A and B are shown apart, each in its own frame.
Chain A
Amino acid sequence: GAVVSQHPSWVICKSGTSVKIECRSLDFQATTMFWYRQFPKQSLMLMATSNEGSKATYEQGVEKDKFLINHASLTLSTLTVTSAHPEDSSFYICSAREEGGLDTEAFFGQGTRLTVV
């Protein structure tokens, strides 16, 4: 299957700093990528839909000024957690669908474990 690479796999940052997470589709072009957050023992919650060349669409309750999403190319989307606080500590996962492909599975990155101290 297609490969989605997410970097970094884990990061520890100080409260008040910003952290950038990258999501790359390695062998296909992805017009749309999705960003999820998952707290321990809970399911994936969609944060936003990242659209190449346009603004991201955020889910209700997700602060767009805090979670900045940029989708500058068909193979790269970034999520920046600004002014991170301990409550932002979570597992962040991206997924991507192949452009023009069948409306089937999304491929997930390996996830980023963010710990804010």
Chain B
Amino acid sequence: GQNIDQPTEMTATEGAIVQINCTYQTSGFNGLFWYQQHAGEAPTFLSYNVLDGLEEKGRFSSFLSRSKGYSYLLLKELQMKDSASYLCAVKGFTGTNAGKSTFGDGTTLTVKP
């Protein structure tokens, strides 16, 4: 099966850097996604990692270590609008999980002035 863990809540200050961790245990792995979701809205895509290493995209970066079953999302120069829930999702590769994404419970980030 799929098991995904991420912290429930985090708080950071405007202008700072925050790292949101995600660990996963899966029966098959075909990529890891990070999504941002504001309250009452659908998730929006932030990043996709399938190979080990760091992917940088503007203020957001995502890291993956497949051997450790670990990923993090790094947000730099935090802005108030970054207050949202951040979802880690793993896409399955084999069997009944093939092609499907399993989501973690999300990390609610609050950015304070």
Contact = CB atoms under 8 A, between A and B. Distances in A.
A113 B106 contact: no
Given A34-B100, A43-B87, A46-B100, A108 B43 contact: yes
B33 interface: yes
Contacts of B100: 34, 46, 49
B99 A32 contact: yes
Interface string A89-105: 00101000100000111
Interface residues of B, number: 22
Contacts of B43: 44, 93, 108
B10 to A, nearest CB: 15
Contact of A44 (B30, B44, B48, B87): B87
A46 B101 contact: yes
A74 to B, nearest CB: 17
9 contacts: A34-B100, A42-B105, A44-B89, A49-B99, A103-B30, A103-B91, A108-B35, A108-B42, A111-B40
